[in-house]
A and B are shown apart, each in its own frame.
Chain A
Amino acid sequence: MSDIINIAGMKKEYKMGKITVPALNGVDFIINKGEFVAIMGPSGSGKSTLMHIIGCLDSPTAGKYYLNSELVSEMKKGKLAMIRNKQIGFVFQTFNLLPHLNILKNVELPLMYAGLSKKKRTQTAKKVLDEVGLSDRLKHKPSELSGGQRQRVAIARAIVNDPTIILADEPTGNLDTSSGADILSIFSELNDKGNTIIMVTHDPAVANRATRVINIVDGLIKDGNIS
């Protein structure tokens, strides 16, 4: 089977004291290997919530989530950490780099938690940073880089472990048009090389690059399960 992600009847509610806030109200979809899926929808519709669950940072309140045929929605937290480390690369709107580490160390981080030797780590991280065009900035701190460069570091960190899926939650949201376009090209290239990508975006132009668009409104998929 080529489906990498299989989500069925997924619900997510947030409890805030006595009030329950529904974020996802029963979502079903399948994503196949090699797809580039754009997730769109109005603010507050549940896109980030969905991404967090797909990225194993959060668990659904109800429903089933299979990643690579493994039932992730029922896994223990320790196992989820391992899935995050090995199968998932996450890129955020706000980059989320560690400010006191240089970019080489930032990219090495997932490899460290994977238990690789220092030598292997540095070697792999350098290679990936080279792929995103930052091999001349290895010792720089994130604060010494432009937004576009920081996002490239984040992409390098996301792909350094060679994950099953790459998740990006509005990766161009904090960037100007030209560096946003650069970042999108990198994602397109990664997709061309066979990587599966799921990206949240508000930009219809971005969505055009995707192989499929999933629209979410009020925690439900509107249409376009198959585009």
Chain B
Amino acid sequence: MAISLKENLIIGFSDFWSRKIRSLITIIGIVLGTMSIIVVLALVKGINQQTMKWMLERGGLSKITVSRNWQYQNPENVKTYFTWKELQLIRSLIPEAKYFNPQQRHWVRQSYADKEYRTAIYGVLPDFSKIEEWDVEDGRFISDFDVEQSNDVIVIGTTVKEELFGNKNAIGEVITVEGRRLNVIGIMAFRYMKNSGAIGNENAFSYLNRQTFVPLSTMIHKGTGEDEISRFTLKAQDVKSAPALREKINNIVLNLRRGLPVFEVESAKEEAEKMAENQKMFSTIFYIISVISLLVGAIVIANIMLATIQERTREIGIRLTVGARRRDIFFQFLVQTILVTTIGGIIGVILGLSILDIVSNFLGIDLIASINMIFLALLVSSGIGFVSGIVPAIIASKLDPVEALRYE
């Protein structure tokens, strides 16, 4: 004649409802706790996914980048750039690298007819397009022949094209860059990042559309005249071999500068791994914080339940009088506590999802709470109900019927 779980749930619900205000206050902690679990986990995951997407869109995981190490103060005054000759040596030492692209950047004024546009110009090799996985949508990209001959050619981004030419054809026209006349041979494909972290109306990839490219040799020999290249990128055969190649290049570069860490060599794959590691650490920290705050919530709930049971001592006496067994009383209060915290958990999850929706719209990033996160949040909230409900339930079930009836 034990009463069923369903019966207990009905009692629990009607108790919850007849003490609405108290019940809501009881669950505030749980609501906030589960809400923060959902929001923080999804936020961490979403931002990392976004960064990963960015990385993949910018050449993938087999990409390796060598650039100036800004942490190194250069007290010995060694060269903080590579010469064209050094780069040719480096290339010959790493035949296993699939693509190789040293680059130089300058800010210049570019003009066509009466139009003028200030933008970045890059001296690159044909491999640039392969490494960045970014090709022309019109015309052609810089060729090996252009580099050999230091041809006066230029490839422009779509924004540059629009600024200087509008709707008119640009291929074959001549742009003047710092007094030098360059032939437009191609227009880069338009870049746009879906769900990017948009700041205002600016897309995260907009800056790419403002870039222009000339052969590196043209830039060195006919432009600046500076044989100083502080950055190069390359691509390993595949993602797996990227870390080893990174290590090899790091050694080569160190040897070229007497072992001084003038340059920084980064592999996208290792960056990604570092990121995953960070995410793990970050999540762990938040798990711990959530667990602590939820434990505090549990103590609060246990206290409220103890007070509730004292208040309801007479009710317990009455129930015992009409035939409730100790285990009926025990389950009544345990189920009720679990019910209360689970309702808190559900409200927390719903609030968390709504907040994610708002934040996600605001940042323009996909923030998705996985089923696992929701499941975890609910599991934790009902677990708290169990932990904080068990002691009060035992106390309730141990009450003496006559004593309980006497209680005022």
- Complex contact B323–A96 (CB within 8 A): no
Considering the chains assembled together, what is the distance between the CA atoms of A55 and B401 in angstroms? 11
With a cutoff of 8 Å between Cβ atoms, the chain B residues found around residue A92 in the complex are: 405
Q: Do A90 and B321 contact each other (CB < 8 Å), given the known contacts A98-B315, A100-B18?
A: yes
With a cutoff of 8 Å between Cβ atoms, the chain A residues found around residue B314 in the complex are: 96
Query: Looking across the interface, which residue of chain B has its beta carbon closest to that of A82?
Result: B1
Q: Mark A147-174, 1 if CB is under 8 A from B, else 0.
A: 0000000000100010000000000000
Considering the chains assembled together, what is the distance between the CA atoms of A112 and B14 in angstroms? 15
Q: Report the minimum CB–CB distance from B403 to chain A (whole Å).
A: 9
- Complex contact B402–A85 (CB within 8 A): no
With a cutoff of 8 Å between Cβ atoms, the chain A residues found around residue B315 in the complex are: 98
With a cutoff of 8 Å between Cβ atoms, the chain A residues found around residue B1 in the complex are: 82, 85, 113-115
In-complex Cβ contact of B322 among A78, A100, A110, A115 (8 A): A110
Q: Mark B304-323, 1 if CB is under 8 A from A, else 0.
A: 00000000001101111111
Query: Looking across the interface, which residue of chain A has its beta carbon closest to that of B329?
Result: A81
Query: Looking across the interface, which residue of chain B has its beta carbon closest to that of A87?
Result: B323
Q: Count residues on chain A whose CB falls below 8 Å from chain B CBs.
A: 26
> B118 on the interface (CB 8 Å rule)?
no
With a cutoff of 8 Å between Cβ atoms, the chain B residues found around residue A78 in the complex are: 325-326
Query: Looking across the interface, which residue of chain A has its beta carbon closest to that of B315?
Result: A98
Query: Looking across the interface, which residue of chain A has its beta carbon closest to that of B322?
Result: A110
> A52 on the interface (CB 8 Å rule)?
yes
> B324 on the interface (CB 8 Å rule)?
yes
Query: Looking across the interface, which residue of chain A has its beta carbon closest to that of B11?
Result: A112
With a cutoff of 8 Å between Cβ atoms, the chain A residues found around residue B324 in the complex are: 81, 113
Q: Do A114 and B321 contact each other (CB < 8 Å), given the known contacts A85-B1, A96-B314?
A: no
Q: Do A113 and B321 contact each other (CB < 8 Å), given the known contacts A85-B1, A96-B314, A100-B15?
A: no
Considering the chains assembled together, what is the distance between the CA atoms of A85 and B324 in angstroms? 8
Q: Mark B40-54, 1 if CB is under 8 A from A, else 0.
A: 000000000000000
In-complex Cβ contact of A81 among B7, B18, B19, B323 (8 A): B323
With a cutoff of 8 Å between Cβ atoms, the chain B residues found around residue A112 in the complex are: 3, 7
Q: Report the minimum CB–CB distance from B282 to chain A (whole Å).
A: 46
- Complex contact B405–A115 (CB within 8 A): no
Considering the chains assembled together, what is the distance between the CA atoms of A114 and B322 in angstroms? 9
Considering the chains assembled together, what is the distance between the CA atoms of A96 and B318 in angstroms? 6
How many B residues touch the partner, as a band? Answer: 20 to 34
> A140 on the interface (CB 8 Å rule)?
no
Query: Looking across the interface, which residue of chain A has its beta carbon closest to that of B408?
Result: A94
- Complex contact B322–A113 (CB within 8 A): yes
Considering the chains assembled together, what is the distance between the CA atoms of A86 and B323 in angstroms? 8
- Complex contact B326–A157 (CB within 8 A): no
Q: Mark A17-30, 1 if CB is under 8 A from B, else 0.
A: 00000000000000
> B328 on the interface (CB 8 Å rule)?
yes
Q: Mark A66-100, 1 if CB is under 8 A from B, else 0.
A: 00000000000110011011100010100011101
With a cutoff of 8 Å between Cβ atoms, the chain A residues found around residue B328 in the complex are: 113
Considering the chains assembled together, what is the distance between the CA atoms of A164 and B288 in angstroms? 59
> A62 on the interface (CB 8 Å rule)?
no
> A218 on the interface (CB 8 Å rule)?
no
> A57 on the interface (CB 8 Å rule)?
yes
- Complex contact A82–B323 (CB within 8 A): yes
Q: Do A84 and B322 contact each other (CB < 8 Å), given the known contacts A113-B3, A113-B328?
A: yes
- Complex contact B405–A81 (CB within 8 A): no
- Complex contact B405–A85 (CB within 8 A): no
- Complex contact A57–B320 (CB within 8 A): yes
Q: Report the minimum CB–CB distance from B404 to chain A (whole Å).
A: 9
B residues contacting A by CB (< 8 A) are 1-3, 7, 14-15, 18-19, 314-315, 317-326, 328, 400-402, 405
A-B residue pairs, 5 tightest by C-beta: A85-B323, A113-B323, A81-B325, A110-B322, A100-B18
A residues contacting B by CB (< 8 A) are 52, 55, 57-58, 77-78, 81-82, 84-86, 90, 92, 96-98, 100-101, 109-110, 112-115, 157, 161
Q: A52-B401, A90-B322, A113-B328 known; 17 other A-B pairs, CB under 8 Å?
A: A55-B321, A57-B320, A57-B401, A57-B402, A58-B402, A77-B325, A81-B323, A82-B1, A82-B325, A85-B323, A90-B321, A92-B405, A100-B14, A113-B1, A113-B324, A114-B1, A161-B323
Interchain Cβ contacts under 8 Å between A and B, 27 examples: A52-B401, A57-B321, A58-B400, A78-B325, A81-B323, A81-B324, A82-B323, A82-B325, A84-B320, A84-B321, A84-B322, A85-B322, A90-B321, A96-B318, A97-B318, A100-B14, A110-B323, A112-B3, A113-B3, A113-B319, A113-B324, A113-B325, A113-B328, A114-B1, A115-B1, A115-B3, A161-B323
